[in-house]
Amino acid sequence: MKFPDQFLWGAATASYQIEGGGLEEGRGECIWHRFSHTPGKVMNGDTGDVACDHLHRYREDVALMSDLGLQAYRFSVSWPRVLPAGVGAINPAGLDFYDRLVDGLLEAHIQPFVTLYHWDLPQALQDRGGWENPDSVQWFADYAALMAGRLGDRVKDWITLNEPWVVAFMGNYTGDHAPGKHDLSAAYKAAHHQLLGHGKAVPLIRSAVPDAKVGITLNINYFDAATDSEADQLAVQRQDGYVARWFLDPLYKGCYPTDIVELVGDALEGIDLDAVRAAAVPTDFLGLNYYTRNTAAYSQEEPLHIDLVKHDHDRYTEMGWEIYPDGLRKLLIQLHQDYAPGALYITENGAAFEDPAPTDGVVEDPERAAYLNAHFEAASQAIEAGVPLKGYFVWSLLDNFEWAYGYSRRFGVVYVDFETQRRVLKRSALYLRDVIQGKA
């Protein structure tokens, strides 16, 4: 594996998944607080009330990052921690926390990458329609400007949104995520307003932080057809349009993909589709969260006529996601060819496996280490093929609250005993350290 000298190695987390601290220190309620406290929504009734207690243990966690030799750390800001009602009154204790975290990272020579929105919308804004409400564009822009103004003297790398597809469709269409709706038209509105919010926020971040590097993070799997049949080939195109091009085309071309517009038709009623040109503001990088391949086949089911099929092999993680490292190489090359972002970062990649209890101060997780190794190799091949990939953030630093799965899925390279909050390095963390130090 070869990586350029300036290549950045890091790990990623998200506020609601690790911070805990409940509604302490003036943090407002977020949609995941409401959702996880609603019986039946999250496995085992788990909530993010305590999570990894990172709010109180961030110093220890920064020390862990240092110990692993991480050069960068991607974390998200909890919007309701800094603006409890989403707009208006600021919570100084919330801003102070992120100040301390950033200072701690910089002291440890770890470059902070801040994600502004990683799913914990203030509940007060959801009560006003959330991302479905056109006002959400301005709410987000104001919040982005607040954070850039506060942290911009020290934070140069900014990500506006994490996985807007998941926010829109899993939150509002499948209902698996907060706010738990089943309304396709609400999902398309939520997608549209996130795109416009991104478009409005980017120049505000730039004016607060003239030397900022700003980007957005999308979740894109590698899409393949189940068979060579024309019907399955077309299903792949639709899957790609539904998940990837619906965001990439607005961001890089200023318009929605017409094939999907025609397909979903009525669900787009009330959306001024042309307005999406405002999302095509220049950015510095595209963040890619890559985990797996989706294999699509034709199905009768409206509106997309897609069935995602499983292969007959055992290369699946505990999430039921196929392990397909070569998809990362192919996807990076595709993105570079089709959209030519100035730079790319892998802002998330990692795997959930059932981990054994720690023995002799380490957790043996050979499958996770092998998963990372194979994906690092794929990334290095993409670089060799000319992709301007600048860095790689492993998901995740710590085992954490895996949304609707609660604490039942462990993605960390660091094991967390949620009873005691003890952190234990996994073998994959030691492997990551070796890679960073050029020893693996």
Could you list the residues that contact ligand IFM (CB under 6 A)? 14, 17, 163, 289, 348, 395, 402, 411
118 DSSP assignment: S
In the complex, least distance from residue 198 CB atom to ligand IFM, rounded to whole angstroms: 17
In the complex, least distance from residue 223 CB atom to ligand IFM, rounded to whole angstroms: 17
C-beta of 16 vs 256, nearer to ligand IFM: 16
In the complex, least distance from residue 405 CB atom to ligand IFM, rounded to whole angstroms: 8
Half-sphere exposure of 416 (CA within 13 A, CB side): 26
Half-sphere exposure of 103 (CA within 13 A, CB side): 7
C-beta of 126 vs 400, nearer to ligand IFM: 400
**Which region holds residue 20: left if phi is over 0, alpha if psi is between -120 and 50, else beta?**
left
In the complex, least distance from residue 395 CB atom to ligand IFM, rounded to whole angstroms: 6
In the complex, least distance from residue 176 CB atom to ligand IFM, rounded to whole angstroms: 11
Decide if 94 contacts 82 (C-beta within 8 A).
yes
Distance CA 212, CA 166 (A): 26
Catalytic residues: 163, 348
C-beta of 249 vs 348, nearer to ligand IFM: 348
Please report, for residues 1, 328, 348, 429, 431, the alpha-carbon distance to residue 69 in angstroms, rounded to integers and kept in the order given: 18, 24, 18, 10, 11
Distance CA 225, CA 30 (A): 38
C-beta of 136 vs 317, nearer to ligand IFM: 317
Distance CA 149, CA 171 (A): 30
The amino acid sitting at 218 is L
Using CB atoms within 10 A of its CB, is residue 413 exposed (0-12), middle (13-18) or buried (19+)?
A: buried
In the complex, least distance from residue 118 CB atom to ligand IFM, rounded to whole angstroms: 6
Distance CA 255, CA 253 (A): 6
Decide if 79 contacts 86 (C-beta within 8 A).
yes
C-beta of 185 vs 408, nearer to ligand IFM: 408
C-beta of 14 vs 146, nearer to ligand IFM: 14
Distance CA 108, CA 280 (A): 36
**Residue of this chain nearest to ligand IFM (CB atom):** 14
